[in-house]
């Protein structure tokens, strides 16, 4: 059996190509030209279903022989020599022959210059608007990505990583190539495979279906785009405009160095113009102006839209040119945030409500955090303050009615955030790639707590860099105008439950340091419940400090306690007698401040395992009682 001789099935690439072909309602007697035809297992299907005439082109002689033996036209054609191939096609088609479709299945990836082949097809098809049916393998299948994380890239004789492939396609690169080749996509019917031919060895923790690591990677992959399980892209095109692109697509700029640091997305329904003006003032007064502002107007009627536009128009030119209004109709609280985040161009994005206030160093603090922690979520500290609104003349004004309250911790703690949100949304900035590249969104299904939901989904992936600087002020409205009062307790609980269910269903990445915290929390809980009783000496082993400095200090304190303990002091004469009897020299007390971790552990263990310490155990237990 030849490696490229695959039989027809409605569920495989041939079947999907045949299905796409049928959509164009081909005319009987017209020609179906199959470039890179191989064994041409489509030939029988297209001729019998549509009455078209199949013609195959390839350099693979056994395939051509097979087609001819089955009574089909088949020609040797090298797509690397475009002019000769064009000449050949024209010579085999009768004068004025109608072409039903051009087809190229799993061929472009074998060519050094697939653009040239696409342009050849375009020259054949443009005049009659002939469709082109294409299939190429997906190099970004979940299996390939997962294996790359453990250093494997396994060429095979055929399949996703056929050893003769010269091009590798993701959906984006394939789309770019087809556009550059002068083709406009009209249909797609990709072939998906949960487990591709690259799913080996199946025991790898990045592949094994029930392995947490595989689950985490697959979840991430599926979040990024819809093609994680696509084995082959199968798509139909019509001739589009000619292009002058000189080379196959590649990433021309690794990083957009000119991009702004921050995009500030302000969500507004246009009802709080006076506080929106105050919010904009806080932004225009920032010490760092390296940001753009996207005002995401949600369900604005004409009057409110004009009011927001007038507010933007009020701004000084240097700020106004960095402010954009986008309008969003429909959807819940997440809709304007998602639209704003997708419109953002900064390296980071932060959400801002139209009543939020920030201090002058809000952007600057985020930016400083980015310098040492690129790619992490950036979190500064927020203070809370009670406010209300009063009527004054014909307008409404806001008024603070309490002192600053530090309700939110000054460091991000993931485990604490699993319990509830402790980070006001305008005090945390997200890397934009989470939205533009990894497909994360505020959950449109949540009517509240959409901020918490997003934070705890992305914080484990990117990590969070925290600053203790207070840069944001969260206004707690005591006049009923807030999300807490707009939604009842049941709704809040229901949304929290939805989020919990979501994160509970997937593996969770914990940051370094989490093990010690979890261990300490567990032990503390057990002690509170009275299920364990630990003495000081076992505690020093159980409650170990992992950080070097803290661990050293803990050991020093314990050693000091031991040598100055009543038990140790009391048994001193006994040890002295034993030394004399054994003719051992009088030992010098070690210098605690000069000892390293190993020395301290050695000396502590010496004391704990000494006969004099064992002898006084009863005394110590009596003292405890």
Partner 1 sequence: MVADLLPRLGRLRVHSILYGNEPHRIIQAVAHLERAAHIALQRGVFDKIELAYGDCSPNDDLRETVLAQAGEASSLAAVEYHFFDENLGSAHGHNRLLDVASSEFVIIMNPDIMMAPNAIVELARVFSDQRVGMAEAKQLPIEHPKHYDPATGDTSWAATACTLIPREVINKLEGFDHRTFFLYCDDVDFSWRVKLAGYRVVYCPAAAAFHDKRLGDGGEWSIGWAEKYYSAEAAMLLAYKYSRQDLAEEIHAYFKKSGDEVWLKAADEYARRKSAGELPVQLDAAHKVAVFTNNAYANHRFAM
Whole-number minimum distance, CB 616 to partner 1, in Å? 45
In this chain, which of 7, 258, 395, 598 binds partner 1, going by CB under 8 A?
395
- Closer CB to partner 1, 185 or 274, in the complex: 274
Whole-number minimum distance, CB 409 to partner 1, in Å? 11
Q: Tell whether residue 258 is a contact of partner 1 (CB under 8 A).
A: no
| 3 state SS of 272 | coil
Please give the C-alpha separations between residue 52 and each of 14, 30, 69, 74, 94, in angstroms, as whole numbers.
16, 5, 19, 15, 14
- Closer CB to partner 1, 115 or 315, in the complex: 315
Whole-number minimum distance, CB 285 to partner 1, in Å? 4
Instruction: Please identify which residue in the block is written with the tokens 């002091």.
Output: 569
CB 442 within 8 A of CB 334: yes
Q: Tell whether residue 557 is a contact of partner 1 (CB under 8 A).
A: no
Q: Tell whether residue 397 is a contact of partner 1 (CB under 8 A).
A: yes
- Closer CB to partner 1, 142 or 466, in the complex: 466
- Closer CB to partner 1, 158 or 384, in the complex: 384
Q: Tell whether residue 404 is a contact of partner 1 (CB under 8 A).
A: yes
599: preceding bond cis by omega (within 30 degrees): no
| 3 state SS of 241 | coil
In this chain, which of 23, 49, 405, 623 binds partner 1, going by CB under 8 A?
405
> Rounded CA gap, 272 and 425, in Å?
19
Residues numbered 340-359 forming contacts with partner 1, rule: CB under 8 A: 357-359
Which spans in 4-155 are helix H? 13-22, 43-50, 61-69, 82-92, 114-125, 142-148
Whole-number minimum distance, CB 467 to partner 1, in Å? 9
Instruction: Please identify which residue in the block is written with the tokens 């922690």.
Output: 373
329: preceding bond cis by omega (within 30 degrees): no
In this chain, which of 61, 287, 611, 621 binds partner 1, going by CB under 8 A?
287
> Rounded CA gap, 349 and 335, in Å?
16
In this chain, which of 27, 84, 166, 390 binds partner 1, going by CB under 8 A?
390
Token code pair at residue 273: 């113009």
- Give 494's contacts (C-beta < 8 A, 6+ positions apart): none
Q: Which stretch binds partner 1 (CB under 8 A): 158-166, 188-196, 324-332, 388-396?
A: 388-396
- Closer CB to partner 1, 455 or 473, in the complex: 473
Q: Tell whether residue 411 is a contact of partner 1 (CB under 8 A).
A: no
Whole-number minimum distance, CB 423 to partner 1, in Å? 16
CB 149 within 8 A of CB 216: no
Q: Tell whether residue 462 is a contact of partner 1 (CB under 8 A).
A: no
- Closer CB to partner 1, 189 or 361, in the complex: 361
Short-list 438, 434, 15, CA closest to 226: 438
Q: Which stretch binds partner 1 (CB under 8 A): 20-28, 273-281, 332-340, 498-506?
A: 273-281
Is residue 451 within a helix (H) or strand (E), and if so which, with residue range? helix 450-462
Short-list 232, 224, 218, CA closest to 146: 218
Whole-number minimum distance, CB 360 to partner 1, in Å? 4
> Rounded CA gap, 537 and 558, in Å?
8
Which spans in 244-316 are helix H? 273-284, 302-314
> Rounded CA gap, 524 and 533, in Å?
11
> Rounded CA gap, 131 and 178, in Å?
13
Please give the C-alpha separations between residue 569 and each of 112, 564, 572, 613, in angstroms, as whole numbers.
84, 6, 5, 10
Whole-number minimum distance, CB 291 to partner 1, in Å? 14
In this chain, which of 473, 555, 562, 600 binds partner 1, going by CB under 8 A?
473
- Closer CB to partner 1, 144 or 472, in the complex: 472
Q: Tell whether residue 434 is a contact of partner 1 (CB under 8 A).
A: no
Please give the C-alpha separations between residue 29 and each of 14, 18, 52, 66, 304, in angstroms, as whole numbers.
21, 17, 5, 22, 61
In this chain, which of 285, 484, 486, 541 binds partner 1, going by CB under 8 A?
285
Short-list 207, 202, 225, CA closest to 217: 207
Q: How far apart are the first and last CA of the chain?
A: 84
| 3 state SS of 57 | strand
Q: Tell whether residue 394 is a contact of partner 1 (CB under 8 A).
A: yes
Q: Which stretch binds partner 1 (CB under 8 A): 322-330, 391-399, 569-577, 594-602?
A: 391-399
- Closer CB to partner 1, 112 or 372, in the complex: 372
Q: Tell whether residue 302 is a contact of partner 1 (CB under 8 A).
A: no
Residues numbered 306-335 forming contacts with partner 1, rule: CB under 8 A: 314-316, 318
In terms of Cβ atoms closer than 10 Å to its own Cβ (0-12, 13-18, 19+), residue 280 is buried
Q: Tell whether residue 295 is a contact of partner 1 (CB under 8 A).
A: no
Kindly report the backbone phi and psi dihedral angles of residue 305, in degrees, each rounded to the nearest multiple of 5, phi listed first: -65, -40
In this chain, which of 94, 96, 112, 403 binds partner 1, going by CB under 8 A?
403
Site size toward partner 1, by CB under 8 A: 39
Short-list 431, 377, 376, 454, CA closest to 259: 431
Whole-number minimum distance, CB 371 to partner 1, in Å? 19
- Closer CB to partner 1, 192 or 396, in the complex: 396
Whole-number minimum distance, CB 302 to partner 1, in Å? 15
- Closer CB to partner 1, 402 or 596, in the complex: 402
- Closer CB to partner 1, 284 or 520, in the complex: 284
Residues in touch with partner 1 (CB under 8 A): 274, 277-278, 281-282, 284-285, 287, 314-316, 318, 357-361, 381, 383, 390-392, 394-395, 397-406, 410, 468-470, 473
């Amino acid at each position: 059996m030849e490696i490229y001789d695959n039989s027809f099935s409605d569920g495989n690439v041939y079947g999907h190509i045949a299905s796409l072909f049928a959509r164009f309602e081909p005319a009987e007697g017209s020609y179906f030209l199959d470039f890179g035809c191989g064994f041409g297992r489509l030939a029988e299907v297209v001729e019998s279903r549509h009455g078209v005439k199949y013609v195959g082109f390839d350099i693979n002689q056994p395939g051509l022989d097979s087609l001819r033996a089955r009574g089909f036209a088949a020609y040797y054609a090298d797509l690397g020599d475009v002019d000769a191939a064009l000449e050949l096609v024209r010579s085999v088609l009768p004068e004025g022959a109608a072409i039903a479709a051009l087809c190229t299945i799993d061929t472009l990836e074998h060519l050094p210059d697939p653009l040239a082949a696409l342009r050849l097809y375009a020259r054949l098809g443009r005049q009659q608007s002939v469709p082109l049916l294409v299939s190429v393998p997906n190099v970004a299948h979940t299996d390939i990505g997962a294996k790359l994380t453990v250093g494997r890239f396994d060429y095979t004789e055929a399949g996703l990583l056929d050893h003769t492939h010269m091009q590798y396609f993701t959906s984006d690169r394939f789309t770019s190539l087809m556009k550059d080749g002068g083709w406009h996509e009209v249909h797609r019917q990709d072939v998906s495979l949960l487990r591709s031919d690259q799913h080996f060895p199946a025991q790898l923790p990045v592949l094994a279906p029930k392995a947490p690591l595989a689950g985490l990677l697959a979840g991430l992959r599926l979040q990024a785009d819809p093609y994680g399980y696509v084995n082959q892209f199968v798509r139909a095109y019509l001739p589009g405009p000619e292009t002058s692109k000189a080379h196959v697509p590649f990433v021309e700029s690794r990083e957009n160095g000119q991009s702004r640091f921050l995009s500030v997305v302000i969500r507004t329904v246009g009802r709080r113009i006076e506080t929106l003006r105050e919010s904009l003032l806080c932004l225009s007064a920032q010490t760092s102006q390296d940001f753009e502002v996207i005002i995401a107007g949600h369900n604005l009627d004409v009057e409110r839209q004009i009011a927001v536009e007038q507010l933007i128009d009020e701004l000084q030119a240097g700020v106004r040119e960095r402010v954009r209004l986008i309008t969003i109709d429909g959807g819940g609280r997440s809709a304007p945030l998602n639209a704003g985040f997708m419109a953002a161009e900064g390296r980071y994005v932060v959400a801002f409500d139209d009543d939020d206030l920030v201090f002058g160093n809000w952007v600057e603090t985020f930016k400083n955090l980015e310098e040492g922690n690129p790619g992490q979520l950036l979190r500064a500290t927020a203070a809370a303050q009670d406010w209300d609104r009063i009527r004054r003349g014909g307008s409404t004004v806001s008024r603070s009615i309490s002192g600053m309250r530090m309700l939110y911790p000054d460091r991000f703690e993931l485990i604490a955030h699993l319990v509830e949100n402790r980070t006001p949304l305008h005090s945390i900035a997200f890397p934009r790639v989470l939205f533009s590249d990894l497909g994360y969104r505020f959950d449109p299904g949540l009517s509240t707590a959409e901020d918490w939901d997003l934070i705890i989904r992305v914080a484990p992936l990117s990590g969070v860099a925290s600053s203790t600087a207070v840069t944001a002020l969260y206004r707690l409205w005591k006049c009923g105008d807030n999300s807490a009062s707009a939604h009842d307790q049941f709704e809040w609980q229901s949304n929290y439950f939805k989020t919990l269910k979501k994160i509970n269903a997937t593996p969770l990445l914990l940051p370094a340091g989490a093990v010690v915290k979890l261990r300490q929390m567990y032990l503390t809980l057990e002690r509170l419940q009275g299920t364990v009783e630990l003495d000081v000496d076992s505690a020093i082993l159980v409650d170990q400090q992992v950080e070097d400095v803290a661990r050293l200090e803990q050991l020093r304190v314990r050693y000091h306690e031991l040598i100055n303990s009543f038990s140790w002091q009391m048994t001193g004469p006994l040890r002295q007698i034993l030394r004399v009897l054994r003719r051992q020299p009088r030992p010098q007390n070690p210098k605690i401040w000069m000892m390293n971790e190993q020395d301290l552990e050695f000396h502590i263990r010496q004391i704990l395992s000494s006969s004099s310490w064992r002898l006084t155990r009863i005394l110590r237990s009596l003292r405890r009682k």
